[in-house]
Structure 1
Amino acid sequence: MKLLPALVSASALFLCGVGVAQAQAPACKSPVPDSALTKKGTLVMSVNPTLPPMQFVDQSGALKGMRVELGEAIAKRLCLTPEYVRIEFSAMIPGLQAGRWDVINTGIFYTEERAKLMQMLIYEDQAISISTTRGNPLKITKPEDLSGKSIGVEIGGFEERKARELDKQLVDKGMKGLNIRTFENFAMAFQALRAGQVEVALSIDSTAEEFQKRGDFERVLHGLFPTPVALAAKNRELAEAMAKALNDMKADGSFQKLFDQYGVKPIDGPVSVKGPAG
């Protein structure tokens, strides 16, 4: 599958707003009361599908990826129908707080600051990669080689924050910093890299590795700023039910099986809820 059509499709589908998983209403009784949900009998999740293989839109317009499958599995175990809202990351936390969706399921990086705002369930280990065009024409082998380079990154997220940390590290060493260009989503950042509008792009390790496997871009640095990834829920009651579902998946092996399928590292130990009490 070529990268560009998939990325264009993903960007275009943000305008569509809501994507509903093809699933029948569950027959079992949910442990989550309707009062804890945005929509009766439904687990509404926000997703930014521009990070293959974790979350993306295929050429038929269907949501795919590890995190999409994980969300569907959680919903099934909670006897809820999964529903996805396709939206840019910058709108996700405000939307969760406003009650537009129940869960942020886009691989949000965990920080103590975020855990003060919402209920977070750490389940995955991730890190940051730097990608460039094929053949690594800039000969980037270490972070210092990024000095003076233009870099594309999604606006408003952990990745942008880390790009600015890289910039500061370079400047503190007396080197030229980064020319940071922000985009609405990762699809647009990689399109800019393809078009020569930026020299490198910053993304998560899994996505950079996937693009390299496809032969579209080259991952020149990886494993930067390793940080846990979480699901974020709007209230404690729902979060606790989700944690139980995830730990049940860990116990029966389906959790590890899903992660192995995509070559992603899960966290060690049980999933717990970190967030405001109550």
Structure 2
Amino acid sequence: MKFRSIALAGALALCAAQAQAQDLTVGVTTTGVPFTFVDTGTQAPTGAMVDLAAAIAEDLEMTPNFAVTQFSALIPALQTSKIDVISAGMFATDKRKEVVDFSSPVYSYGDAAFVAADDEGTYQIEDFAGEVIGAQIGTTFADQLQARGIFEEVKLYDSLVDIMRDVQLGRIKAGFGDKPIIAYQIAQNPNLGVKLVEGYTPMGIGEVALAVSKDNPELLDKVNAAIAEMEQSGELAEIFGKYGL
């Protein structure tokens, strides 16, 4: 009986130690290249925000458990405690701040302009006045460009790849889209025949941050502390730099 008591005590101690190493359930999406997406080789979530969440979990001595979720369902999943944190390419907008708490910003970006790889010009948006340019249909960038009314035509495309093709072929002068996505695609495929316009000032800037439930301020404090430490050490920049950001 004494042996069994000792064995039971040991088992309980092991369970307690395992319980302390809690899971951190992280909501991610599959369509936020290069922030969050699924690696076609491993079928596992990957991307800058996935790496960041894993690093934060390690700092908190927790185990990251990634829950692939549709973007529109991320905040409801957080509110219903299905996930502990959102780590995706999500802007910390005023409307979202009404229902969730955001961490310190981890990345900021806006739109980018790209031209043919052999175009040596330096441009701001006004320099494309009178030109035919391209943007993806349904994006805020397309609406903003059309509202300016200074271009010969704002040609709308179904995909960024199609815009890049027409820029490379000289059918349009320039294309516009999400800077991180464009930068990542160019970095992954230098033979696309296009390049980012250096020094271009975007039409607007959004800040990407992690989100936690308003009922969990303790976790928010821990996440912010981890982000601050990684920012100071340079690890934050290294994580995003890995994906061309």
| TM-score between the two structures when normalised by the length of structure 1 | 0.58
Distance 1:149 1:260 in 2: 29
CA contact 1:49–1:63 (8 Å) conserved in 2? no
For structure 2, list consecutive stretches of 5 or more residues without a partner in the other structure: 1-16, 167-171
Distance 1:245 1:252 in 2: 11
2:145 matched to 1:166? yes
Q: How many residues align?
A: 212
Q: CA deviation at 1:206?
A: 2.7
Q: CA deviation at 1:243?
A: 1.0
Greater radius of gyration (CA): 2
Q: CA deviation at 1:72?
A: 0.3
Map 1:19-168 onto structure 2 (within 5 A): 29=20, 41-52=23-34, 54-60=35-41, 61-121=43-103, 122-131=105-114, 141-143=123-125, 145=128, 149=133, 151-152=135-136, 160-168=139-147
- Aligned residue identity for 2:224: A
Q: CA deviation at 1:104?
A: 2.3
After superposition, what is the alpha-carbon deviation per residue over 1:21-66, rounded to whole angstroms, capped at 9, x for unaligned?
A: xxxxx95836xxxxxxxxx7332222344423x4343331233332
Distance 1:57 1:92 in 2: 16
CA contact 1:168–1:177 (8 Å) conserved in 2? no
Pick closer, same or farther for the CA change 1:191–1:66 going to 2, 3 Å: same
Q: CA deviation at 1:203?
A: 3.8
Could you tell me which residue of structure 2 aligns to residue 234 of structure 1? 213
2:207 matched to 1:245? no
CA contact 1:43–1:82 (8 Å) conserved in 2? yes
| TM-score between the two structures when normalised by the length of structure 2 | 0.65
Q: Percent identity?
A: 20
Could you tell me which residue of structure 1 aligns to residue 5 of structure 2? none
Distance 2:51 2:99 in 1: 26
- Aligned residue identity for 1:104: I
Q: CA deviation at 1:81?
A: 2.1
For structure 1, list consecutive stretches of 5 or more residues without a partner in the other structure: 1-25, 31-39, 183-188, 265-278
Q: Where is the strand percentage greater, Structure 1 or Structure 2?
A: 1
CA contact 1:136–1:220 (8 Å) conserved in 2? no
Distance 2:154 2:75 in 1: 27
RMSD between aligned alpha carbons?
3.8
